[in-house]
Structure 1
Amino acid sequence: MSRRAAWILSPIALVLVAAGIALAVLQPWQSAAEAADKGDDGPVTALAELTTLTSDLRLNGSLSYGASIPLPGRGGTITRLPKAGDVIGVGQAVYEVDGRPVIAVRGERPFWRDLGADMEDGPDVRQLEQALADLGFGTDLTVDDEFTKVTTASIKAWQKSLGLPQTGVVALGDIVAITAASVRVEAVKAKLGDPASSSPLTYTSTGLRVIAKLTDAQAREILPGTPVTVILPDGTEVPSTITAVDVGGQPTEKEGETTPPTATVDFTDPAAGQGIGLRAVKVVFATSEVKDALVVPVTALVATTDGGYAVDVLRKKGKVERVAVEVGLIADSRVQIVGGDLAEGDAVVVAQ
């Protein structure tokens, strides 16, 4: 078993063993035969079977649209706002200031100056030119740090498509950089008539994902790319993948507190989870697997006086025989039998 499996399985095994044995050993030294002698209807049994036994790690998670990002403010007065939940794509107006739309373009850095002819070269020019190209206004445009006549012509063509004055200049505040091709308005913090200097809203990604809580040890062991299964509140199982692990430890707004370790889980089907709200879910890792394992219910285990375990086997003519066994992997309320006089198809007595 790998080191990763070891730290995951140990607490699970202990819990399952405790749960099972607590039922099986309420009267550990009384055999099923003795119970039958007292006039019981007879023992309840289950068949020992060969199967694939898988041990899972289950984590608590919640549906999320990801990190909340504030939209930068600008000068002027807010004259139109979107609603929470609206999806806004690049090339569309996010909100309106002084009667003019503030257009979303894709980029990682905020714009900090007017963009027009004779300006100094810079990465903001490259970001603008890439945005123009993405919107279909990049004919003959070379995406670089230099503002050229072709850049001016591309801006005018873009302004014409929006019904704006064709100045060839993008003034500070006319556009705002967002981090994806489209974003979802999370919360609107401003109201009509407010100064636009403060952030008017926060946004997130448009795709649902799961944020799962981790321990410090799990954050060190779990790797991006690990396949998992997300169990939705209605029991639907959705194939998913760990896409990022955050070890936490970053300061929060509360003094002395830090962010917890978490894993980000993306659905294989982006539509999974839509329409059910930001609900709690389970994230399941298959951590260990044994093929052709001889298994019985964990409630069939009986503690013995020497500190080991046994099972009561119903033999021919109703005779019950206590058989000492060695146990292996424990998962899903079942236990692997790795030693002892027990075979597939044997009927073992289970605690009632």
Structure 2
Amino acid sequence: MNRRTLAAAGSGALLVAVAAAVWLGRPATPDAEPAAVTVPVQRTTLTSELRLSGRLGHGPLTPVGDTTGTVTGLPRVGDVVRVGARVYEVDGRPVVLLRGKRPFWRELSTGSATGPDVRQLEQNLADLGFGGGFDVDERFTPATARAVRAWQRSIGAEPTGRVRPGDVVTVDAGDIRIARVDARLGGVDAAAPVSYTATAVRVTATLTPAQARELAAGTAVEVVLPDGTRVASTIAAIDPGGEPTGTDGETTPATATVDLPDQKAVADIGLPAVQVRVAKAERARALVVPVTALLATADGGYAVEVVRDGVVERIPVEVGLVADARAEVSTAASGDGPEPLREGDAVVIAS
């Protein structure tokens, strides 16, 4: 009889077989053969998981800014820039981070034509605490100009009441993390002087095309850190990939982005590889044995051997969920055979 180690155990495949109606009893004596290696049958929750390899990181780099003048101040890589704070400096003037979906393309001041860029500026002023005297709309009023001057004084800029395109940079996000600095102090008319990422650490896991079709944003996952810490999270986005990389016809792989709500758990561990686990099936209060306890029977079914009162009994079993090298098993009572498998029974495993 061959003891079958199930190749599908790691993949979480479901294996169901009809139990063989064969029972043998033999003494478990040292004189007959070496003592059997046994483990107890457990009653527990068995979960089948998809396991993905991922890496911690801050997400893709995005270049930002466009200077006209001499660069007189730059951030450092790793700096976190808050909305309303200086990103870099040109001709001694701070260039400030604002939130928005569109860049500022014209000077805004009293008398400017109405437009969504005015609304975007006023919304930023209101969010930064300078919006008490105006309504957030598409009109640049004297009250807007007073709020701009108050804001400019707070950041050490000349209080002109006007906002020029070169005074600010906009990102469709909140605070940013400086990931690369391409300009140099004293440089003139630098395009995209800095590049940024998100401030939060997240996980990017590479997917197969089939996994990219199966998984979706919002799916609950568990991220396992190198020290074994488990962090509950969800998939934030699925990128199907397939975009040209510009290298010999290669395309980008499919990926899953996983946000980490508990940033303290990853604050000081660098950016190592991690594992992402996605639960696919679960059995509560299942009778569970190691897959190395399963015997393949002649009729294609399975059995286990149990040591009871010094005697080895072979019990036919049906196999359910298989995961993590463990198998869910069930047995039925038989009038002329052994008693059904029970929690705590000592099953023989391959040694």
Superposition TM-score tier, normalisation by shorter sequence: 0.7 to 0.9
Structure 2 residue aligned with 1:197, among 165, 180, 190? 190
Deviation sequence 1:210-237 (CA, Å, 0-9, x none): 1122222222222222221110011111
Q: Distance in 2 between matches of 1:36 and 1:95?
A: 81
Change (3 A) 1:267 1:118: same
Q: Which amino acid aligns with 1:344?
A: E
Q: Distance in 1 between matches of 2:317 and 2:58?
A: 50
Relative to structure 2, which stretch is displaced further, 33-42 or 280-289?
A: 33-42
Contact 1:32–1:349 under 8 Å retained in 2:
no
Q: Distance in 1 between matches of 2:100 and 2:248?
A: 33
Structure 2 residue aligned with 1:287, among 280, 288, 291? 280
Q: Which amino acid aligns with 2:269?
A: I
User: Secondary structure of 1:126's partner?
Assistant: helix
Contact 1:313–1:320 under 8 Å retained in 2:
yes
User: Secondary structure of 2:322's partner?
Assistant: strand
The reply on whether 1:333 has 2:325 as its aligned counterpart is yes
Q: Distance in 2 between matches of 1:73 and 1:195?
A: 10
The reply on whether 1:344 has 2:343 as its aligned counterpart is yes
Q: CA deviation at 1:266?
A: 1.6
Alignment of 1:234-245 (within 5 A): 234-245=227-238
Query: TM-score scaled to structure 2, two decimals?
Result: 0.86
Q: Which amino acid aligns with 1:44?
A: V
Q: Distance in 2 between matches of 1:314 and 1:42?
A: 11
For CA contacts below 8 A with separation 6 or more, give which structure has more relative contact order.
Answer: 2
The reply on whether 1:187 has 2:180 as its aligned counterpart is yes
User: Secondary structure of 2:143's partner?
Assistant: helix
Query: TM-score scaled to structure 1, two decimals?
Result: 0.86
Q: CA deviation at 1:86?
A: 0.4
Normalized per residue, the structure richer in helix is 1
Q: Which amino acid aligns with 1:270?
A: Q
Q: Distance in 1 between matches of 2:47 and 2:97?
A: 48
Determine the structure 2 residue equivalent to 1:259. Answer: 252
Q: Which amino acid aligns with 1:125?
A: V
Q: CA deviation at 1:257?
A: 2.6
Contact 1:36–1:43 under 8 Å retained in 2:
no
Aligned residues between the structures: 329
Gaps of 5+ in 1: 1-8, 18-30
Contact 2:40–2:343 under 8 Å retained in 1:
yes
Relative to structure 2, which stretch is displaced further, 214-223 or 271-280?
A: 214-223
Gaps of 5+ in 2: 1-7, 16-23, 333-339
Contact 2:330–2:341 under 8 Å retained in 1:
no
